[in-house]
């Protein structure tokens, strides 16, 4: 379904869901940012203190994978809602940011390295 759905359609689905519940009043930049961080923390909590093999096993367990994907969907919900509320074109901004990162992380200096751009 990812191949058939646009970001605009997802933003509209989130907008409709929230407007049907009269939630615009609660969705300012601060509270949406808090929601994003909260949901991200709930996602990472699934992996805390887990080895690579334990994490791989989690993705092979239907119930555990479902819990992980629900948290990831919550993160995406807040990203989409933030962008929808504040008229941010995610495609444009992601491409712009990748271009910036291309300059910060040139392939010849960064390939195979996880060092921050200030260290390369």
pLDDT in tens, 2-29: 999 999 999 999 999 999 999 999 999 9
- The CATH H-level superfamily of 2-88 is MazG-like (1.10.287.1080)
Where in the chain are all domains bearing CATH 1.10.287.1080? 2-88
Count of C-beta atoms within a 10 Å radius of residue 68: 18
Q: How far apart are CA 49 and CA 67, in angstroms?
A: 17
pLDDT in tens, 49-84: 999 999 999 999 999 999 999 999 999 999 999 999
Q: How far apart are CA 108 and CA 101, in angstroms?
A: 13
Q: Is the pTM of this model over 0.85?
A: yes
The shares of helix, strand and coil residues in the chain, as percent rounded to the nearest 5, are 75, 0, 25
């Amino acid at each position: 379904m990812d191949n058939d759905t646009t970001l605009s359609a997802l933003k509209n689905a989130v907008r409709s869901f929230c407007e049907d519940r009269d939630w615009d009043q609660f969705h300012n930049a601060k509270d949406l940012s808090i929601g994003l961080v909260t949901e991200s923390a709930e996602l990472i909590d699934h992996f805390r203190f887990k080895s690579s093999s334990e994490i791989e096993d989690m993705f092979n367990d239907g119930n555990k994978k479902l819990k992980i994907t629900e948290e990831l969907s919550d993160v995406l919900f807040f990203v989409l809602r933030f962008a929808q509320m504040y008229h941010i074109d995610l495609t444009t901004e992601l491409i712009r940011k990748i271009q910036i990162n291309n300059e910060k992380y040139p392939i010849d200096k960064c390939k195979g390295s996880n060092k921050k751009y200030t260290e390369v």
